[in-house]
Amino acid sequence: MRKGLFALAAVGLLATSSVAACGDDSGSDSDTGSGANASAGKVGVILPDTKSSQRWGTDDPKFLKAAFDAAGVPVEIQNAQGDKTQFQTIADGMISSGVKVLMIVNLDSGTGKAVLEKAKKAGIATIDYDRLTLSGGANYYVSFDNVKVGELQGQGLVDCLAEKKYTKPVVAELNGSPTDNNATLFAQGYDSVLNPKYADGTFAKGPNQPVPDWDNAQAGTIFEQMLTSNKNIKGVLAANDGLGNAVISVLKKNKLNGQVPVTGQDATVQGLQNILAGDQCMTVYKAIKKEADAASQLAIALAKGEKPTTATGTTKDPESNADVPSVLLDPEAITKDTVKKVIEDGFVTKDAVCTADFAKACTDAGIS
């Protein structure tokens, strides 16, 4: 598909006043803000759910709100809570309210495309945030290099299995949602690392299955079935921390946690704690603030009627073959030795990660 990393300066826009609100505890509230920059149009943001990853309920709303507030641009941030009908209802409301820019994280490309097409007909600029909407025709796309995310996961599992010194270990793959193009890109990345290992006999290819809607409960059921049918699984490529934790829960029941390396993604508090405990071998840290700032910078320019200058790359839409102007950021592999970096960056707090059960592990990992 596409490759390449594009550097981006952090948003440094100064506010004349702070405006707009994000969501309430449900992540689905808004306020246009009475002190907003009079020359700026309103921005609508639709996030996908609060179950698949903690980021959608806490991190992204916080960072997006801060960026728009700093720029004095009114914003409405809502969360569809995994409901496609609700996603479309929220979009219809934003479009009819006269937003100038619509930023979405689609639940699937079909729903996302329908929303983007409505926005386009209404003359609204559009941004695909984190996930590309296939054939959606968004004006811009902001994400991480998702193939690189998968490559880091694959190499992380290779390294962890090497430490275990297993001979021809059976590797299971628990992929993300089949309706999420990012899951396809992650798999493209980690399969580019793992497939040669299967081909030369270093690893044995075990069960491989997607998890609908990134549902963690389904992930646990799927992996339990995998383990029941193949007791020799020695490594698990889990596409994110939530799926990884579901795998670890099953491994714990079978007294196999710590013996079977498990990957992840998102550097969640739970994922980092699993790494500190020795139950998860790595995660992938995507600096969400940088992604939120990059998307906000694009939206703020569009809301003010300016031409954005930061989307210097392109991403090929595999369905339409269109080249979508893009900002793609660089992900980073995190292991026990580097958990402290995620805390030092301010992405998570020491208090959240280093609770009583993990205090010693934090000290041992150099977290002070």
Domain boundaries, given as residue ranges, for the chain: 29-144+287-329, 146-285+333-364
Q: What is the mean pLDDT of residues 133-151?
A: 97
Q: How far apart are CA 193 and CA 15, in angstroms?
A: 45
Q: What is the mean pLDDT of residues 161-165?
A: 97
DSSP 227-243: HHH-TTEEEEEESSHHH
Q: What is the mean pLDDT of residues 107-131?
A: 97
- What is the model's pLDDT at position 11? 35
- What is the model's pLDDT at position 52? 87
Confidence band, pLDDT 50/70/90 cuts, at residue 34 = very low
Domain 29-144+287-329, architecture per CATH: 3-Layer(aba) Sandwich (3.40)
For the cut 90, the answer to whether the pLDDT of residue 5 exceeds it is: no
- What is the model's pLDDT at position 231? 95
- What is the model's pLDDT at position 368? 85
For the cut 90, the answer to whether the pLDDT of residue 100 exceeds it is: yes
| Homologous superfamily of 146-285+333-364 | Response regulator (3.40.50.2300)
Which amino acid does the sequence have at 163? E
Task: Count Cβ neighbours within 10 Å for each residue of 55-71 and write b for 16 or more, e otherwise.
Answer: bbbbbbbbbbbbbbbbb
- Compute CA distances 94 → 45, 108, 219, whole Å: 9, 19, 34
For the cut 50, the answer to whether the pLDDT of residue 25 exceeds it is: no
Report the interhelical angle of 109-121 vs 84-97 (nearest 10°): 10
Instruction: Please indicate whether the domains covering 29-144+287-329 and 146-285+333-364 agree at the CATH topology level.
Output: yes
For the cut 60, the answer to whether the pLDDT of residue 142 exceeds it is: yes
For the cut 50, the answer to whether the pLDDT of residue 1 exceeds it is: no
Q: Which two tokens stand for residue 184?
A: 């396809």
pLDDT above 70: percentage of residues in the chain? 90
- Beta carbons within 8 Å of 73's beta carbon, 6+ residues apart: 19, 20, 36, 37, 40, 42, 43, 299, 300, 303, 304
**pLDDT tens digits, 196-217:** 999 999 999 999 999 999 999 9
- DSSP, collapsed to helix, strand or coil, labels residue 165 as coil
- What is the model's pLDDT at position 87? 98
- What is the model's pLDDT at position 37? 54
Q: What is the mean pLDDT of residues 230-245?
A: 97
**pLDDT tens digits, 325-363:** 999 999 999 999 999 999 999 899 999 999 999 999 999
Longest CA–CA span in the chain (Å) reads 66
Confidence band, pLDDT 50/70/90 cuts, at residue 219 = very high
Confidence band, pLDDT 50/70/90 cuts, at residue 134 = very high
Taking all residues of the chain, what is their mean pLDDT, rounded to a whole number?
90
- What is the model's pLDDT at position 15? 32
- What is the model's pLDDT at position 53? 86
Across 14-18, 142-146, 288-292, least confident range: 14-18
- What is the model's pLDDT at position 54? 83
Pick from 61, 145, 72: which is nearest to 105 by CA? Answer: 61
